Amino acid sequence: MTFPQIIQGGMGVAVSGWQLALSVSKRGQIGVVSGTALDLVITRRLQLGDPGGHLRRALAAFPNQDIANYVADRYFIEGGKAPDKPYKSKPIIDHNPRRRAQELLVVSNFVEVFLAKEGHDGLVGINYLHKIQTPTMPSIYGAILAGVDIIIVGAGIPLEIPGIIDRLVQHEPVEMKLHVKTTEGTRIDRITFDPKLIFEESRPPEKRPSFFPIVSSATLATLMVKKCDGGVNGLIIEGPTAGGHNAPPRGRPNLNEIGEPIYGPRDDIDLDSIGSHGIPFFLAGSYGSPDGLVRARAAGAAGIQVGTLFAFCEESGLRPDLKHETIAKCKAGTASVFTDPIASPTGFPFKVLSMAGTASEEDVYESRSRVCDLSYLREAFEKEDGTIGWRCSADDEKMYVRNRGKFEDTVGRKCLCNGLMANIGMGQLRKNNVEEVPLLTCGDGVSSILKIIKPGESTYSSSDVIDFLLNGSESSMTARATAHQATS
Ligand SMILES: Cc1cc2nc3c(=O)[nH]c(=O)nc-3n(C[C@H](O)[C@H](O)[C@H](O)COP(=O)(O)O)c2cc1C
């Protein structure tokens, strides 16, 4: 199968929502919705009154109306919740999930993909983080029911996913490994999901979406291709300058003078080896320019995956004030991105854009009480009696230690779940009406957004990004960026 040259990268939480993916797919490129925490996003959007009625339109198309109606009845608030009221919680998924938690995941993933695919024939992908294990199977099933074209999985080694996709398109029960931390290391348990939960009656098979893992080395690419036995249809090769989480450097971690991980020659990716598999591959991480696309194609790639340029465009889910502030910082030449080696409870380096009033500032973040109430990045651990418990290193330190964690693992950790929800204008309200603060991420090359913004304008669309990548001339666009900086 041949694919378009540009993948708009999946950006959580809901930065690449259905509106962005829809706009990119309509232009004939690959639009990708983020599949992270969609159950939370959909329940909060419903509590905000579902402006435009889009969610309710998608819910009406879900093939089990009892479940769709339950979700709408439980979370939708006509006209939106009162601004001084916190969001209602939704079930948290663990190794032994409640039926309602699984249903909500299936429905939410269906809704997001349904909306991104509405009214065109373009390709739509969905992006999951392999580190987040428990929601994965019901989420993939929901996306498949909505006809998703590509399932993209990063942040881990998703060897089991192609087999899971193969079974879910047939509506067959699936299982996957759950990594449980023990005092000695890790033990493997299994988690399961059965589509019979959603449909008791038998159903015809669904279309099998393509599967693209995101990897950061030729060794991992080879492992995925060989072990997945035909199940890998494309590869995304992501380097350490990309927005979001990054793979840690190979070997013993060393930090530079400001505390960022140092990447070296061992992290260079052998593209000849990647190309030798004969599978289309896309390069990600600072490839968002006409020149980047040409370089990628010259190296044998089918195209590029771009995140940062799309993150700040009009159709992205980021709060408009955060987009404006970022663009203003780029114009002023003060945009600064820090690769934080410890902020993310996943243990992967995470890029943080410095901005006043956000969790990038230590004093702002420190004023927040440590609490884990969204729990996507929790890890499973073995309790003293051998059963499974859950803990997050960004939670209250005492709680983490009580759950057999080490205090030192809590130091410098930040609650990404609540920060990322605040990024999209859905931050939880805490005591005294204090709202959770944003935690912005983007790639090292964020200032390139100035190359896209037309003279005299201060915003840009996803179409502008695509025109820039496909037809832009590097020299005139660089001149445009310089002019923006000179007039700021
Ligand atoms: C705001 C933002 C959020 C991101 N979130 C995710 C994510 O949830 N999952 C993922 O696999 N990649 C994520 N990424 C990475 C992008 O999908 C893409 O691979 C990357 O941005 C490409 O490099 P670039 O930032 O230099 O364009 C994110 C990137 C940004 C900018």
Is any ligand 1 atom within 6 A of the Cβ of residue 311?
Answer: yes
Q: What is the mean predicted confidence (pLDDT) over 331-345? A: 97
At residue 155, the pLDDT reads 79
Confidence band, pLDDT 50/70/90 cuts, at residue 384: very high
Is any ligand 1 atom within 6 A of the Cβ of residue 352?
Answer: no
C-alpha 361 to ligand 1 mean position (Å)? 22
At residue 174, the pLDDT reads 97
Q: Which CATH architecture has domain 6-487?
A: Alpha-Beta Barrel (3.20)
What residue segments make up the domains of the chain, in order of their start? Answer: 6-487
Query: Residue 6: beta bridge partners?
Result: 304
Asked if 146 contacts 114 with a C-beta cutoff of 8 angstroms, the reply is yes
At residue 58, the pLDDT reads 98
Confidence band, pLDDT 50/70/90 cuts, at residue 479: confident
476 pLDDT exceeds 90?
no
Ligand 1: nearest atom to the Cα of 309: 27
C-alpha 428 to ligand 1 mean position (Å)? 24
For the question of whether the overall pTM of this predicted structure is more than 0.85, the answer is yes
Phi, psi for residue 178 in degrees, rounded to 5: -115, 125
Round to whole Å and give the CA distance between 124 and 112. 10
C-alpha 244 to ligand 1 mean position (Å)? 5
Q: 211-246: per-residue pLDDT in tens? A: 999 999 999 999 999 998 779 999 999 999 999 999
At residue 328, the pLDDT reads 96
473 pLDDT exceeds 80?
no
DSSP state string for 319-369: -HHHHHHHHHHHHHT---EEEESSSSTTSS-EEEE--TTSTTSHHHHHTSP
294 pLDDT exceeds 90?
yes
C-alpha 15 to ligand 1 mean position (Å)? 10
Q: 99-128: per-residue pLDDT in tens? A: 999 999 999 999 999 999 999 999 999 999
Round to whole Å and give the CA distance between 158 and 238. 15
Is any ligand 1 atom within 6 A of the Cβ of residue 308?
Answer: yes
Q: What is the mean predicted confidence (pLDDT) over 393-406? A: 97
